[in-house]
């Protein structure tokens, strides 16, 4: 047997380095590497901004939902990747159960799963307004897997709580929210996640909410760096909190707001 039949460790290491460099110079791999290098400082800055927002548990932000029970509709297990997580859905329902808001506004309907949850938890005389893009604009600008603009709101279509829901199909950046300014008890924001839209939606939410009301944002996490910075900028000087164990940010608006 030849003494050279097995690679020497140093030769194996050199071969591994050569292969790594070869992988990096392939166009697709090189592009992915460049993107990760660019994203790291951006996401790091967003992580710093997110961590600067104090975390609080549910009972600190709201209060214990006494004598309340929460069931999970079987359809919730067939959730899309764009839906809020199941435990976040329960937290939202619990918050609405505690607060008992009569007027709610959701920015970003998607399939209507969260819309339905908000309506079910709200009082019998509550109204849940929800806005998402018109069908053609949705299909042209959004790209969720196996989901089209014609399906927006489908999850609440057959719900007993459907009568509480008022759907708006419009671009939230240009829609006239003026009639709702200062009228809304509970706002949930889960729409576009880039900085420009996040800032616009956050400023809209602040105009909609009444003094003493509540705003909840979804996906307040470093991966969505633009959204994190937008929320922090829009709420600067306000008592924004992170709901511990979730990707949600919460603002209990002061009564003197």
96 pLDDT exceeds 70?
yes
What is the pTM assigned to this prediction? 0.84
* Confidence at residue 3, expressed as pLDDT on a 0 to 100 scale: 46
Q: How sure is the predictor about 2, in pLDDT bands with cuts at 50, 70 and 90?
A: very low
Kindly report which listed range (24-28, 153-157, 185-189) carries the lowest average pLDDT score.
Answer: 24-28
255 — pLDDT class (breaks 50, 70, 90): confident
- Residue 215 burial (10 A CB sphere; 0-12, 13-18, 19+): buried
What is the average pLDDT across 130-144?
92
pLDDT of residue 235: 98
As a whole-number percent, the residues of the chain with pLDDT over 90 amount to: 70
- DSSP β-ladder status, 249-252 and 184-189: unpaired
pLDDT at position 118 over 80: yes
pLDDT score recorded for residue 232: 97
Find out whether 155 and 75 touch, Cβ atoms under 8 Å: yes
Q: Where would I find the H helices in 52-85?
A: 58-61
Among 27-31, 83-87, 169-173, the range scoring the smallest mean pLDDT is: 27-31
Please, where are the H alpha helices in the chain? 9-25, 27-51, 58-61, 86-99, 113-121, 135-141, 195-208, 225-234
The predicted structure's pLDDT at residue 25: 58
pLDDT at 13: 66
Predicted confidence band at 23 (pLDDT cuts at 50, 70, 90)? Answer: low
């Amino acid at each position: 047997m030849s003494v050279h039949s097995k690679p020497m460790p140093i030769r194996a290491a050199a071969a591994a380095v050569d292969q790594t460099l070869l992988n990096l110079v392939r166009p697709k791999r090189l592009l992915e590497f460049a993107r990760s290098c660019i994203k790291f400082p951006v996401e790091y800055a967003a992580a710093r901004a997110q961590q600067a927002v104090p975390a609080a548990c549910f009972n600190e932000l709201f209060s214990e939902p006494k004598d309340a029970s929460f069931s999970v509709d079987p359809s919730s297990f067939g959730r899309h990747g764009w839906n809020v997580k199941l435990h976040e859905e329960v937290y939202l329902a619990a918050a609405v159960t505690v607060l008992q808001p009569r007027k709610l506004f959701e920015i970003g309907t998607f399939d209507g799963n969260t819309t339905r949850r908000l309506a079910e938890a709200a009082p019998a005389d509550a109204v849940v307004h929800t806005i998402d893009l018109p069908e053609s604009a949705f299909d042209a600008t959004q790209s969720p897997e196996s989901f089209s603009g014609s399906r927006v709101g489908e999850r609440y279509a057959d719900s007993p709580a459907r009568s509480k829901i008022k759907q708006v199909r419009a671009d939230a950046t240009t829609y006239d929210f003026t009639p709702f300014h200062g009228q809304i008890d509970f706002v949930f924001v889960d729409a576009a996640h880039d900085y420009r839209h996040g800032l616009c939606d956050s400023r809209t939410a602040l105009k909609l909410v009444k003094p003493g009301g509540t705003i909840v944002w979804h996906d307040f996490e470093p991966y969505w760096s633009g959204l994190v910075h937008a929320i922090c900028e829009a709420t600067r000087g306000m008592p924004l909190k992170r709901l511990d164990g979730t990707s949600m940010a919460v603002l209990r608006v002061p009564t003197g707001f």
